[in-house]
Structure 1
Amino acid sequence: MIERRPILDFLSHVVLVLGVLIVFFPLYVAFVASTQSAEQSALSPLSLAPGGEFMNNYSTVLFKGAAGQVTAPPVLHMLWVSLATALIIAIGKISISMLSAFAIVYFRFPGRGLFFWMIFVTLMLPVEVRITPTYQVVSDLGMLNSYAGLSVPLIASATATFLFRQFFLTVPDELAEAARIDGAGPLRFLKDVLWPLSRTNVIALFVIMFIYGWNQYLWPLIIATDTSMYPIGIGIKTLISGGDSAVEWNLVMATMILAMLPPGLVVVVMQKWFVKGLVDSEK
């Protein structure tokens, strides 16, 4: 029996509340600045009282974009570019990784161990390391300023392949034998047996890969030379690239708040399955 100690419970709650306040305060400051005018948001120290420009600021960045000394496309379009790119990356990573792990675990062919380690070694070669040859290939294929150029070079994932492989190794061999006796082929076994068993793992990986795709900055910065293909990260950088005198911090903060909403919503909606996929050991 675990003894409950009120003092320790109180201290634990104090630490948790302090942690929440430390994380929440910068977000509150950003939200407050996004509701103020450009003059108010430039004051030092910044007022912590919300202003009256909420609707004006958010409608401006969503549908019109920033103008004046710094020009940026509408945030609504940049959010769509980021959303489409993140979905393609997440779904592509999961699909390719599951198929490759399935082949490595359930098919007997010469060198399958070597192929797995070749995939695993690519963890040491992120896109930042191979960015020049990757850019050359994308450019030669005419994929600049396209959704394919933003997402396809980032789809391959050694991490997801490794995680799926480790999960498939825990699946009892009797399931594969039973499926074979029932006349199920490899794809039928993958669809009817492995997919339902790995659903929570897929959701956990989807959340991680979606946020990874959403937060991409360096690769889109090189590939997207047309403002119509700017993701939200590049849009924020564009807003603050004109120097302190040209930055409208109220619009920058409104854009940052909007940029945080989609990944935050994904985490909140899928939180239950995300945690279960990471810690659940039942198969």
Structure 2
Amino acid sequence: MVENKRWLDVLAHAVLLLGLLVVAFPVYIAVIASTHASGDFLSGMIPLLPSTHAFENYKAILFSGIDNSGTPPISLMLFNSLLMALIVAIGKIAISITSAFAIVYFRFRFRMLAFWLIFVTLMLPVEVRIMPTYKVVADLGMLNSYAGLSLPLIASATATFLFRQVFLTMPDELTEAARIDGAGPMKFFKDMLLPLSRTNMAALFVILFIFGWNQYLWPLLVTTDERFYTIVMGIKRMSDAVDAEPRWHLVMASVTLAMLPPVLVVIFMQKLFVKGLVETEK
């Protein structure tokens, strides 16, 4: 029995508001700081109220960049991060769902061995695989390229495992009905499995898009040409300005713009994302 006490409701809301404040306050500081001039930070005090320099700050960072950080305009870095995140998310889903389809619906020798070999890679930390992966990318001539940024990251054991579990919940009657109707494997996959997996793909897309967007170590290794810098790399370089004080107002403007694409993806796909995470019946 759930107790309906007023003080419990007040306590629950207080905890939620406190958690919201802890999470939202740094974001608020970044947005406010992006509206100030560089001189407002010389005193060491962080302003808590907005100023009137927002338009010029965002215009400068989008189209001019910061000259003492060695980074291109942030618009190019945003495009690079967006392209990388989309390729990683879509590529992971495409490879994982077809791999899971083959493992679940086809009978071939060593299929479970293949699945467990894929699954075992979850136990290998990124640092173990990153140098061999870099060697392969370098030997293939993919350094300083969008292919080098994205293709080594599109394999996902986690997504393969999740799609396999989804396909195992599909009733056998679907397979029998498709076989009776004369549907081949790819038609069954396209017309039946893909629509039934739509919410799961949406949930994975959100997670994988943010994963690709937040990548720092891998782009740092494979790119030396500023034309292929990602936004996370750019923010780090801006904050480590050489022989000068970091221009924190422009850094915070970059941080604010870097938050927007993941936030928009989560907002627009929130319903499918939640449904894909909690849905258990087909």
Query: How would you bin the TM-score normalised by the shorter chain?
Result: over 0.9
Q: 8 Å contact 1:96–1:156 — kept in the other structure?
A: yes
Q: How far did residue 126 of structure 1 move?
A: 4.2
Matches within 5 A, 1:87-236: 87-236=86-235
Stretch moving more, 236-245 or 118-127: 236-245
Identity of paired residues, percent? 62
Structure 1 residue 13 and structure 2 residue 17: aligned?
no
Q: Partner of 2:127: helix, strand, or coil?
A: coil
Q: CA deviation at 1:125?
A: 2.6
Alpha-carbon offset, residue 243 of structure 1: 5.7
1:253 maps to what in 2? Answer: 252
Q: Find the residue that maps to 1:275 and give its secondary structure.
A: helix
The DSSP-based 3-state class of the residue aligned with 1:71 is: coil
Tell me the number of residue pairs that the alignment of Structure 1 and Structure 2 aligns: 282
Q: How far is 1:14 from its partner?
A: 1.3
SS in 2 for 1:49: coil
Name the SS for the 2:91 alignment partner.
helix
**1-structure distance, mates of 2:167, 2:243:** 53
State the superposition RMSD in angstroms: 1.3
Residue of structure 2 in register with 1:56 after alignment: 56
Instruction: Give the Cα–Cα distance (whole angstroms) in 1 for the partners of residues 42 and 227 of structure 2.
Output: 29
Q: Taking structure 2 as the reference length, what is the TM-score of the superposition?
A: 0.97
CA distance in 2, matches of 1:66, 1:242: 9
2:102 aligned counterpart, secondary structure: helix
The farther-off stretch of 30-39 and 236-245 is 236-245
The alpha-carbon distance between structure 1 residues 43 and 243, as it changes in their structure 2 partners (threshold 3 A), is farther
**Inter-partner Cα distance in structure 2 for 1:176 and 1:35:** 59
Given that residues 30 and 253 in structure 2 are in contact (C-alpha distance below 8 angstroms), is that contact kept between their aligned partners in structure 1? yes
The 4+ residue runs of structure 1 with deviation greater than 4 A are none
Listed one character per residue, the Cα deviations across residues 180-228 of structure 1 (whole Å, up to 9, x for unaligned) are: 0000001111111111111000000000000000000000001011000
Q: Unaligned stretches of 5+ in structure 1?
A: none
Per the normalisation by structure 1, the TM-score is: 0.96
Deviation at 1:70, TM superposition (A): 2.5
Please report how far the alpha carbon of residue 244 of structure 1 lies from its aligned counterpart in structure 2 after TM superposition.
8.6
Q: SS at 1:135's partner residue?
A: helix
SS at match of 1:225: coil
2:34 matches 1:34? yes
Q: Report how far residue 19 of structure 1 moved.
A: 1.1
CA-to-aligned-CA distance 1:225-265 (integer Å, 9 cap, x gap): 10000000110011012269420000110000100100011
Deviation at 1:4, TM superposition (A): 2.9
**Aligned equivalents of 2:270 and 2:69: distance in 1?**
38
Return the offset for 1:131.
1.6
- The separation in 2 between residues aligned to 1:72 and 1:124, in whole angstroms, is 36
What residue identity is the alignment partner of 1:131?
I
How far residue 43 of structure 1 moved from its aligned partner, in angstroms, is 2.7
1:42 is displaced (CA, Å) by: 3.6
Structure 2 unaligned runs (5+)? none
The aligned counterpart of 1:270 is 269
Return the letter of the residue paired with 2:280.
Answer: S
Give the residue type in structure 1 aligned to 2:143: L
CA distance in 2, matches of 1:11, 1:245: 48
Say yes or no: does 1:47 pair with 2:39: no
| Distance in 2 between residues matched to 1:126 and 1:209, nearest whole Å | 17
Deviation per CA, 1:27-59: give whole Å up to 9, x if none: 111111111011103432212111111001101
More moved, 118-127 vs 237-246? 237-246
Cα drift, residue 9 of structure 1:
1.4
Separation in structure 2 between the aligned mates of residue 118 and residue 42 of structure 1, nearest angstrom: 55
State whether residues 38 and 249 of structure 1, in contact with CA within 8 Å, keep that contact through their aligned partners in structure 2.
yes
